[in-house]
Chain A
């Protein structure tokens, strides 16, 4: 064990640096896709998007990021396989972080639609299977994660479809869409606030040391949902409704629709916040999961199954994401946001609702999924409800292809780095 203690500080330093780099990359890039739909539909300005993203990414990562971090840290590999060889975990996790960071850098510059989640999972499975042996991979867990990558876009699509259909039924296809938008808007916001806070309270808060009983959880979630709905109600009432002097029914309906969109633009601020929260809760793990694994291996000399993720690790990841957002993220949001003009607020609301719900649910169960791919599924769901003028299916093909390429690429790179580190340190 001497060797571990000699290199301990170096390993911790490396893990922190690599983890921060990865979190920075996630903040610089991934967040853009989550926020861009709101900016694109003119719901919020880029500056507002940045502030919202920073606050809620941070909150999501810190309050609800622990579960997925646990999965990345120890759910993908068999702990017994590393017993007595903690340095293998350290090298492997460091290699995974390096591999994922590098692959993301390459892919981003090429404009390929790759996912941070897929890369890091591919990398960890890669080093474990080749560097240690196929028995070192928890194939059952990996299999169910891979399955969830298929189901999460589908689920988000279904939710977005249902939400959009309900907006049509309750608001658009009524004699007085504007009035109904005012009436039902806060209700939708209540559900956003309620579901998200319930899932977060149930699983996340114990990591920061707050405990509630079951009924208290429900009460707190209900209260938060109500507060969100109330804030929404007040904001919706402040929306400037443009009225038309024209008396023809066609002109009146048209102005009603545009006013409904104005209201949903305000409501989208809430789903955008939910998206940022969901993204933080799921994707921060990609950076801090391997970091946490290195830390616990250094400290205890094994892959510790019991010890929980220290909350300062989550904090570090959250800070990394916000730094990424502040240094490069705004540029990406600006670029992407101005490109999405086809998504009106009612559509954006539906898509973000479906995505946020799906991703937070995945975070709740500890499954690492790709926020962006889930969002793509949700957009498609709105498209199936005949809500979007045109969706380019070739892009869908590219996304499917990227799923298949990213896993082996992450794996190959991390295997290379693994043997490099092994050669350097042993």
Chain B
């Protein structure tokens, strides 16, 4: 008479842990953007390609995690947060690593070389954008404590402060992006037209990394508002 208990089957798999693991994987991949840009500036091709490979691997691993998490979320689950919000957060997280992969692909594929005067500001811009992702990861890591506190009270205020910091970082990257664009505009005539075009694209994509990191935060804010 050994029973399968329906008390234990009453509990679905918690989506929080896998979501955090996915974001951690995403951030791990994004960190390689800094060495990538550094190596691009010093024209160190082996480092560029190894950084590219690492980002591609991270993207692949994140994809696997994403699919696993989606399988864990049948409609019959009753959760403290909205299922749609959760899937949206996952989607945003996934977009970040996809962007990083595209950036790395562009750098490797076109053997990108930045104009001398853009190199240092672009590196700083990259660093700041990865910091936005790091902040987003920290916000996601607060989900445990949010659950512990039942998505109420002080902990919510604490997370909202963190989201506020994330917004501030993203704002900074926006300003850096505008400045880079302006610099590039002044250089346009002295550069090859295709290089100009792809440098604009590189700046845009990098900016999008920070944008999507911010969106992760704002999606979370929606969960708190429920």
Contact = CB atoms under 8 A, between A and B. Distances in A.
Interface of A: 25, 28-29, 32-33, 36-37, 40, 105, 108-109, 111, 113, 164-165, 168-169, 172-175, 249-250, 253-254, 257, 328, 331-332, 335-336, 339-340, 342-344, 346, 372, 375-376, 379-380, 383, 385-396, 398-399
A68 B135 CA distance: 58
A395 B9 contact: yes
Given A328-B1, A392-B76, A336 B148 contact: no
17 contacts: A25-B1, A164-B150, A168-B149, A168-B152, A172-B155, A253-B158, A332-B3, A336-B8, A339-B9, A343-B11, A376-B7, A388-B80, A389-B147, A390-B14, A390-B15, A392-B76, A392-B77
Contacts of B76: 392-394
Contact of B79 (A254, A257, A372, A390): A390
B153 interface: yes
B154 interface: yes
Interface in B97-148: 142, 144-145, 147-148
Contacts, number: 139
A393 B11 CA distance: 9
Contacts of B13: 390
B62 to A, nearest CB: 21
Given A28-B1, A29-B3, A344-B148, A383 B8 contact: no
Interface in B7-44: 7-16
Interface residues of B, number: 35
A254 B141 CA distance: 11
B9 A392 contact: yes
B4 interface: yes
Nearest to B73: A390
Contacts of A388: 11, 80
- Name the prevailing secondary structure of the A interface residues: helix
Nearest to A375: B7
Nearest to B143: A389
Interface of B: 1-16, 74, 76-80, 142, 144-145, 147-155, 158
A386 B155 CA distance: 14
Contacts of B154: 173-175
Nearest to B157: A173
B4 A111 contact: yes
A108 B149 CA distance: 37
Given A25-B1, A168-B153, A391 B11 contact: yes
A187 to B, nearest CB: 20
A36 B9 CA distance: 12
Contact of B10 (A105, A257, A332, A392): A392
A280 to B, nearest CB: 18
B6 A398 contact: yes
A253 B147 contact: no
A32 B5 contact: yes
Contacts of B1: 25, 28-29, 105, 108-109, 328, 332
Nearest to A260: B148
Contacts of A250: 142, 158
Contacts of A395: 6, 9-10
B153 A335 contact: no
